Structure 1
Amino acid sequence: MTLIPVEAPPEGAVDLGELIDAVRALHVDLTLGDAEQPVPAVVETGPSTVLLPMVATSRRLSLTVVKVLTDAQADGPLQQSTVLLLDAATGTRLAVLAGGPGTRMRTAAASAVATDALARADSSVLGLVGAGPLAVEHVAAIRRVRPIDHVVVWSRTARRIEEFRRALRARERADGSPPVGVTVSADVRGVVSAVDVLCTLSPAREPHVHGAWFGPGLHVNAVGAPPRPDHREIDGAALARARVVVDSREVQLRKSGEVLLALDEAAVTLEDVGLELGEVLTGAHGRRRPDEITLFESVGLALQDLAYAALATGRPVVAR
């Protein structure tokens, strides 16, 4: 039996700025028909565990990615994944990568792409609902596209906040970035009401972010809820009050509890949740007014994993 090693790329192997550009380019490819992003199947592997085999292909790069994601509602890591990169023409295996680091980076990169396309240019205060490793990655990514000089954060535990502070300062030193100010909010509403850009990053089942709290001009990246149709961080009123942009219409209508539950409640229509990020990036759409509320509904795509895997293995992802 031949054992294939699963490798995690060394720290710094993928430049965050290059990844943001690569994710942007592949979302454009998806809109223009140069990439395929099928809806992933769901396989129930236990009473509270599902497995999602996620696949995407870039015709322009001649690369295919297969990501196997396990989402477990139990003790231990909530999500674990492995990424397989293939030559799209021959099927030749090019790399097998541990999925955790790449998932965090590509998720934050997608939020940065959406923020760059939709948030006000003068946005300087970033809000975080959740303070885990994904929060640190989002601070780094959003700072690449907006002049963020202050962060307002909420978490359920003080320990998580302290871990966030230490990790954020370490990341700033590694990136050579000036330190941002950090304010800890006593509740979620305090975060929402104080920021220009909001990232929701918690694996919630019931909504704890409410659209009634949204102020004029806010941009939201809804990121944290797992790809399950009964989980959501934000309520239907949030989608109803915002101009919603999704990563993929087809995937959202199968995997996003925030979209599906808002549709069930008649808070929104299919037309309200039909605008894809790639359509915004190709110039057909964008922020229309300074006071417009915008919301990027991110369920996560294998195409974004392809961007990371390509860069991690030395394959440039250049724009068209």
Structure 2
Amino acid sequence: MTAVLQDDVLAGLVDLGDLIDAVRTVHRDLTLGQAEQPVPAISATAGTTIVLPMVATSHRFGLTVVKVLTDAPGNREGGGPTQQSTVVVLDSRTGARLAVMSGGACTRMRTAAASAVATDALARNDSRVLGLVGAGPLAVEHVAAVRTVRPIDTVVVWSRSASRVAEFRIALRQREHADGVPALDVLTAPGPRHVVEAADVLCTLTPSRVPVVEGAWLRPGQHINAVGAPPRPDHREIDSHGMARATVVVDNTDIQLQKSGEVLLSLKDGTTTEDDFRCELGAVLAGLAPGRTQHEQITLFNSVGIALQDLAFAALALKRTPWTTPNT
């Protein structure tokens, strides 16, 4: 029987701490040859909309996922979602369809979990101030995820929309109450530079086409999770100087060199080389590549999002769904 799982069910089905552990595992497995993550091909549809089919297989979990992501920036004018996705979960041995999942909660939670894994591997242990450039639902999830791996006591947030910041504050308090964790101090910044200069750990969470963070603003010892830019080669949140200043760790090198605007535009500018993007998160986790080696080092996790992260979420969701029997 195929489970059909909607976002309202999925949001309460997967424990964030378990998901962080599962995302850590699949990234390590990818480096060690226990998982497959091919580069997805982008298909253009009407207007500026693109369709991105993403496939991954985990030998550990015995699962294959096929995620179909649409990025439709034209929806923004009508107030609709710019990104939508559906995840099909298959038994990797038999090909049997185990589940069809809405992609909203999955994408939001696994993205934040990946940032938490990277933060745990790369940020200084004494990091206490979390900076957010962007204040949508992904921001709330990032606060919950990052505070599981570092002793965060203050959040500094900025958004172009004051109403979005107000909604973020309400949603964060509701999440803290639901999770039974102490409320954090939340400060609203007048601009992105103020966030960057205050943050020990910085998360950029905007679908920006032009940089919202300049490399000149980065502070020694800081860690950055660059998360928000869609998989388009002309979109980026961090400028070329920022990419050159930081020690960059990526989720997948081959995908980054084809899909990440941060990578491709800094290469075009001549401020970086392809070798700057060879270090994958899984290699750091497996002890095969260095992460942070100096207290004053600036580290940056450039995240385009990979289907193996969706697979990690799906594996946990299936375990909590009584009418499915995924391989473990």
TM norm structure 2? 0.94
How many angstroms apart in 2 are the aligned matches of 1:4 and 1:283? Answer: 37
Tell me the alpha carbon deviations over residues 191-232 of structure 1, each in whole angstroms, 9 at most, x when there is no partner: 000010000000000111011100110000000000000100
How many angstroms apart in 2 are the aligned matches of 1:253 and 1:10? Answer: 32
Could you tell me which amino acid in structure 2 is paired with residue 306 of structure 1? L
Question: Conserved in 1, the CA contact under 8 Å of 2:132 and 2:157?
Answer: yes
Which residue number in structure 2 is paired with residue 296 of structure 1? 301
How many angstroms apart in 2 are the aligned matches of 1:116 and 1:5? Answer: 33
How many angstroms apart in 1 are the aligned matches of 2:235 and 2:247? Answer: 21
Pick closer, same or farther for the CA change 1:269–1:315 going to 2, 3 Å. farther
The question of 1:244 aligning with 2:255 is answered: no
Which residue number in structure 1 is paired with residue 24 of structure 2? 24
How many angstroms apart in 2 are the aligned matches of 1:270 and 1:40? Answer: 19
SS in 2 for 1:95: strand
Could you tell me which amino acid in structure 1 is paired with residue 19 of structure 2? L
SS in 1 for 2:319: coil
Which residue number in structure 1 is paired with residue 54 of structure 2? 54
How many angstroms apart in 2 are the aligned matches of 1:178 and 1:4? Answer: 36
How many angstroms apart in 1 are the aligned matches of 2:6 and 2:174? Answer: 24
Identity %: 65
The alpha-carbon deviation at position 7 of structure 1 amounts to 2.7
Deviates more, 1:307-316 or 1:148-157: 307-316
The question of 1:187 aligning with 2:191 is answered: yes
Which residue number in structure 1 is paired with residue 314 of structure 2? 309
SS in 2 for 1:313: helix
Question: Conserved in 1, the CA contact under 8 Å of 2:31 and 2:282?
Answer: yes
SS in 1 for 2:216: helix
1:1-320 to structure 2, matched below 5 A, reads 5=4, 7-8=6-7, 9-75=9-75, 76-284=80-288, 285-314=290-319
How many angstroms apart in 2 are the aligned matches of 1:11 and 1:195? Answer: 28
SS in 2 for 1:74: helix
How many angstroms apart in 1 are the aligned matches of 2:66 and 2:50? Answer: 16
The alpha-carbon deviation at position 6 of structure 1 amounts to 5.3
How many angstroms apart in 2 are the aligned matches of 1:157 and 1:60? Answer: 43
The alpha-carbon deviation at position 256 of structure 1 amounts to 0.3
Could you tell me which amino acid in structure 2 is paired with residue 297 of structure 1? N
SS in 2 for 1:135: helix
How many angstroms apart in 1 are the aligned matches of 2:158 and 2:83? Answer: 22
TM norm structure 1? 0.96
Instruction: Could you tell me which runs of 5 or more consecutive residues in structure 1 were left unpaired when the two chains were aligned.
Output: none
How many angstroms apart in 2 are the aligned matches of 1:135 and 1:306? Answer: 22
The alpha-carbon deviation at position 283 of structure 1 amounts to 1.3
Could you tell me which amino acid in structure 1 is paired with residue 6 of structure 2? E
Pick closer, same or farther for the CA change 1:274–1:10 going to 2, 3 Å. closer
How many angstroms apart in 2 are the aligned matches of 1:194 and 1:314? Answer: 40
Could you tell me which amino acid in structure 2 is paired with residue 290 of structure 1? H
The alpha-carbon deviation at position 46 of structure 1 amounts to 1.2
How many angstroms apart in 2 are the aligned matches of 1:295 and 1:10? Answer: 30
RMSD, matched Cα: 1.5
Tell me the alpha carbon deviations over residues 162-211 of structure 1, each in whole angstroms, 9 at most, x when there is no partner: 00000000000011110000000000000000010000000000111011
SS in 2 for 1:33: coil
Could you tell me which amino acid in structure 2 is paired with residue 46 of structure 1? A
How many angstroms apart in 2 are the aligned matches of 1:265 and 1:258? Answer: 11
How many angstroms apart in 1 are the aligned matches of 2:266 and 2:96? Answer: 42
How many angstroms apart in 2 are the aligned matches of 1:173 and 1:204? Answer: 31
Question: Conserved in 1, the CA contact under 8 Å of 2:41 and 2:53?
Answer: yes
SS in 2 for 1:292: coil
Pick closer, same or farther for the CA change 1:10–1:69 going to 2, 3 Å. closer
The alpha-carbon deviation at position 12 of structure 1 amounts to 2.0
Tell me the alpha carbon deviations over residues 48-92 of structure 1, each in whole angstroms, 9 at most, x when there is no partner: 100000000001221000000000011210100000000000000
Could you tell me which amino acid in structure 2 is paired with residue 207 of structure 1? P
Deviates more, 1:6-15 or 1:157-166: 6-15
Instruction: Could you tell me which runs of 5 or more consecutive residues in structure 2 were left unpaired when the two chains were aligned.
Output: 322-327
How many angstroms apart in 2 are the aligned matches of 1:274 and 1:11? Answer: 34
Tell me the alpha carbon deviations over residues 218-270 of structure 1, each in whole angstroms, 9 at most, x when there is no partner: 00000000000010011011110000000000000111011000001011111
